[in-house]
Amino acid sequence: MQTAWGWLPAIYLFLGGMGAGALIIAATFEFYGKRYQYDFCPTTLVGATVPGPLVILGTILLIFDLGAGLREPWRILYMFTHFSSVMTWGVWLLTFFIPVSLIYGFLESVDTFPAAREWLKARRWLRWTRFLWNLPLRRTKRVFAGIGVVLALGVAIYTGILLSAVGPAIPFWSTRVLPFIPVPMMPLLFLVSALSTGIGLTVDLVGTLTVGFMEHRVKSLPWIHMAFIGVETLLVGLLLITALVDGGSAAQSAREIVAGTHAVVFWVLIIIPGFVYPFVVHAYAAGLGRHSLASGVGSGVGIVVAGLFLRYLILVSGIPAAL
Partner 1 sequence: MEIPRRRFLGLVAAGAAAVVGAPLLKGVLPATAGERPKARYALIIDTTKCTGCGACIEACRLRNHLPEGVSYIRRIVKGNDRKPWFLMIQCQHCANPPCATVCPTNATYRREDGVVLIDERLCVGCKYCMQACPYQARVYDEERGVADKCWLCLPWVLGGGLPACVEACIPGARLFGRTDDPESEVAQLIASGRAKPLHPEFGTEPSILYYIIEE
Residues engaged in binding partner 1 (CB under 8 A): 2, 4-5, 27-28, 31-33, 65-71, 75-76, 78-79, 81-82, 84-89, 91, 142, 146-147, 149-151, 153-154, 157-158, 161, 165-170, 318, 320-321, 323
- C-beta of residue 39 within 8 angstroms of C-beta of residue 111: no
Would you say 34 or 255 has its CB closer to partner 1?
34
CB of 316 to partner 1, least distance (A): 13
DSSP labels, 40-72: --HHHHHHHHSHHHHHHHHHHHHHHT-SHHHHS
CB 145 within 8 A of CB 30: yes
Least CB distance to partner 1 at residue 84 (A): 5
Q: Closest separation between CB of residue 190 and partner 1, Å?
A: 12
Q: Could you tell me the smallest distance in angstroms from the CB atom of residue 15 to partner 1? A: 17
Contacts 24+ apart (CB under 8 A), 136-145: 137/107, 137/110, 137/111, 138/111, 140/107, 141/30, 141/104, 141/107, 141/108, 141/111, 142/30, 142/31, 144/100, 144/103, 144/104, 144/107, 145/23, 145/26, 145/27, 145/30, 145/31, 145/48, 145/104
Total residue length of the chain: 323
Q: Which is nearer to partner 1, 90 or 300 (CB)?
A: 90
The number of beta carbons lying within 10 Å of the beta carbon of residue 264 is 10
**Least Å from the CB of residue 181 to partner 1:** 14
Give me the least distance between CB of 39 and partner 1, in Å please: 18
Euclidean distance between CA atoms 120 and 159, whole angstroms: 37
Closest distance of CB 289 from partner 1, Å: 24
Q: Are strands 176-178 and 181-184 parallel, antiparallel or unpaired?
A: antiparallel
Q: Considering the complex, state which of residue 75 and residue 219 has its C-beta at the smaller distance from partner 1.
A: 75
Please identify, using beta-carbon distances, which residue of 161 and 244 lies nearer to partner 1. 161
Q: Please say which residue, 198 or 274, places its beta carbon nearer to partner 1.
A: 198
Looking at the Cβ atoms of 224 and 272, the one nearer to partner 1 is 224
Taking the least distance from each CB to partner 1, the nearer of 8 and 280 is: 8
Which runs of E-coded beta strand occur in the chain? 176-178, 181-184
